[in-house]
Amino acid sequence: MTLFQNSLAPAPPDVFRRRVRWALGVVRRGKWVVFGCVLLITAPTVVYLYTAKRLYSTTAEVLIESPDTGDSLLDRSYGRSRLTEAAIQTEADILSSSSLAARVIEKLNLTADPEFNTALRPRSLWGKILPYINPLPFLTGQRAGEQQLTEQGRAKLAMTRIQGNFLSRLSVKSRRRSFVITVGFTAENGEKAGRIANTLADLYVVDRLEANLQESRRANEWLAHRLEGLRHDVAIGERTAEAFRITHNLTQRRKGERLMTISDQQLIELNSRLVLARTDLAQKRARYEQTLALSRRSGSTETSFDVLQSSLIQRLREQEAITQRELSEATKTYGDRHPRIIGQRADLNELRQKIAQEVNKITASLASEVAAAQAGVTTMEREIAALKRTTNEAGSDEVELRELERQADTSRTLYESFMARYKRDTGQERIQRANARVLSQAVIPVQPSSPRRIRIFVGAVFVSVLAGLGLVFLLDRLNGRVRSPEEAEQITGLPILASIPYYGNKNQSREALDYASLDAPRSNLANAFRSLRAVLSANTETGADKVTLTTSSVPQEGKSFVSRHLAMTIAKAGHRVLLIDADLMRPIQHTAMGLTPDRGLAQLLLEPTLPVDDLLLHDERGSFDILPAGPIDLESGNALANGRLEEIVQSLATRYDRIVIDAPPCLAATDAQILARVADQIVLVIKWNHTARDAVLTALSYLSKVGAKVSGVVLTQTQDNLDGTYGSYGYYGNYDGYSEKS
């Protein structure tokens, strides 16, 4: 029967605390491993930090400026008119190019510096030996290739290596969303690093200026050559158009802002005159038709507009009116036949005849004007028709002429554009700027950038501690022994009933160990057994769980020690207790009394008539009885298999309050499986830091095959100074100061 299997299941917070205590215990046990890892890693690190060369790093900043919108050179540079991230990255690549590095090396004479020219460094002993033992140059053919080079080739190869060393110390970075490029350099001397970084930045600005000037010169040379060709094309185009115009009589005359041929000009003028002539004809025809209409309607045309507007007729009518008035006055004075009257009448008739003649002349004149106007309109219409025929015939020639003129105009426009570009670029060639400037000079560093001692040392300590902890936990996992109550619970799935601390030493007597819980009632050992008694006695008041069996996986785990002190602790509580030594192969319980019984459990199993009282031994100090195993021979070795064990235990249970059976190890003999049938409680004893996990699982498997249910686990010989989890497991007796001094 399993005791408190559900109630002993730890809550999640308790599980966390147990895991933390387990981890602390593992670290405490492996503290020397951690210390060894720290020493193994940090010692070489410290040696390296004190022997490594110190390197100094510094940075300069270069600003890439946007090109001017009117700068034709920058309009062509990289095919851009504004800066982009790609353009900034291109400038950064130029800063880290080998050509610019070569200029810095030449200006600062770095070929004579052993830091960059490795050939000037003194060769160490290892450097002298390595070329003879290193097969790589022979396998790759490098040495043979170098031997075939000329002096000039070897000089170039040496310069290439110097440039490689230089570029390995150089760091060029472009900032995101910024036109600033950071130029960093690392050297063994801070002043040298600052000088190289500043020189590189200055030479970059000069290089950009020279590149712009060279590009401008090349562009101007190309423009000058192109202008000569365009000038020749313009001259040929204009001469061709002019010759075609003269050949086909297409000479143009300028009128206003338009150019037109003579035929077009004549046609326009004739059309204008024709419109005017038709207007005049219409007016004259209207006047003539009005006059004819008056003549038909009244028989007289004296009231027409032209007649009324005639000055001669107006004077004649004035004379007629005067004569008519004089005649009227004379008629009042003289008679009709008076000579004066007759004369005046004759004058009046003469005036009227003249008026009639003038009216007829005006009417005839209107008819003549209409005829002349009609003749003029007809003539102009014929001339216009003739000009239209001429213009249509010259249309194809004009189309060809216009095409020649367009070609000439295009050549002239292109020539003028190139001429303006050439004049502008020629004027700007002397005022070019680099479009880059040094934003901040590199300062001389006073603190080395490498090696960073504090960071490397702290990192080495941190890594060594992590490596040590990892190794400790790895070794703990690889160790197959049970090392803590938590491990025992995880492996078996059973609760821990008690943890029995290690007691005594090598020189301690056997008797002192047999009665240790009695001799030190306030010790951790006594408290542990009292705790075990309390757990196992939970159901004994009702009569159940009276028979308790203790077993282990392998020998030397302390099961007999646990059985004896458990029986002793229960007996001191006022109960009648019987301890049955059922380990027939290695009986030990009788040795505490200094007796060697000649009969015991083995003989009782074989001879049912033997009186039990004659077989029992009474321990006066422990206050409990012992049923020894008895002498073992070939016949008694298999006594447990005869089936009388259950009958014997039942009879003894009527005489005692508790029975404790000391069974043999499960893996050493099969007796434990037989004894488990008569037990109410089964306690599995596991020796701390000794018993293998596989052995524990195998023992539980053997017991489960016979239907035995293990109540719990007892962990024996735990050591608080080695296992950090033991002292904090939580039972009362683990507080050493309180237990020993109270």
* pLDDT, tens digit (0-9, with 9 covering 90-100), for 592-643: 888 888 888 888 888 878 888 889 999 998 899 999 988 876 555 577 877 7
Contact 512, 621 (CB under 8 A): no
pLDDT in tens, 209-225: 887 777 777 777 777 77
Lowest mean pLDDT among 174-183, 391-400, 473-482: 391-400
Higher-pLDDT residue of 512 and 191 is 191
pLDDT exceeds cutoff 80 at 83: no
Which residues lie closer than 8 Å to 326 by C-beta, 6 or more apart?
344
**The pLDDT of residue 109:** 92
β pairing state of 658-662 and 547-552: parallel
**The pLDDT of residue 242:** 78
| C-alpha span between 618 and 621 (Å, rounded) | 9
Fold of 480-741: Rossmann fold (3.40.50)
Type and span of the H or E element at 438: strand 436-440
pLDDT exceeds cutoff 50 at 735: no
Q: How much of the chain exceeds pLDDT 90, in percent? A: 25
Q: What are phi and psi of 339, to 5 degrees?
A: -60, -35
**The pLDDT of residue 256:** 41
Confidence of residue 106 (pLDDT cuts 50, 70, 90): very high
**The pLDDT of residue 13:** 58
**The pLDDT of residue 354:** 73
Lowest mean pLDDT among 44-48, 53-57, 553-557, 719-723: 719-723
pTM score, two decimals? 0.50
DSSP code per residue over 566-585: HHHHHHHTT--EEEEE--SS
Contact 201, 60 (CB under 8 A): yes
| C-alpha span between 51 and 40 (Å, rounded) | 18
Q: How much of the chain exceeds pLDDT 70, in percent? A: 77
Contact 277, 376 (CB under 8 A): yes
**The pLDDT of residue 255:** 41
| C-alpha span between 43 and 38 (Å, rounded) | 8
- Most confident stretch, 44-48, 320-324, 370-374, 384-388: 44-48
Which CATH code for domain 51-218+432-440? 3.30.1890
Confidence of residue 294 (pLDDT cuts 50, 70, 90): low
Confidence of residue 514 (pLDDT cuts 50, 70, 90): confident
Contact 484, 475 (CB under 8 A): no
**The pLDDT of residue 459:** 93
Contact 115, 162 (CB under 8 A): no
Which residues are paired to 261 by β-bridges? 252
Indicate the domain borders of the chain.
12-50+451-476, 51-218+432-440, 259-393, 480-741
| C-alpha span between 244 and 260 (Å, rounded) | 15
Confidence of residue 71 (pLDDT cuts 50, 70, 90): very low
**The pLDDT of residue 544:** 66
Higher-pLDDT residue of 57 and 485 is 57
| C-alpha span between 494 and 709 (Å, rounded) | 10
pLDDT exceeds cutoff 60 at 726: no
Per-residue pLDDT, averaged over 323-329, amounts to 73
**The pLDDT of residue 742:** 29
- As a three-state string, the secondary structure of 633-668 is CCCHHHHHHHCCHHHHHHHHHCCCCEEEEECCCCCC
Continuous H helices in 170-299: 190-247, 262-298
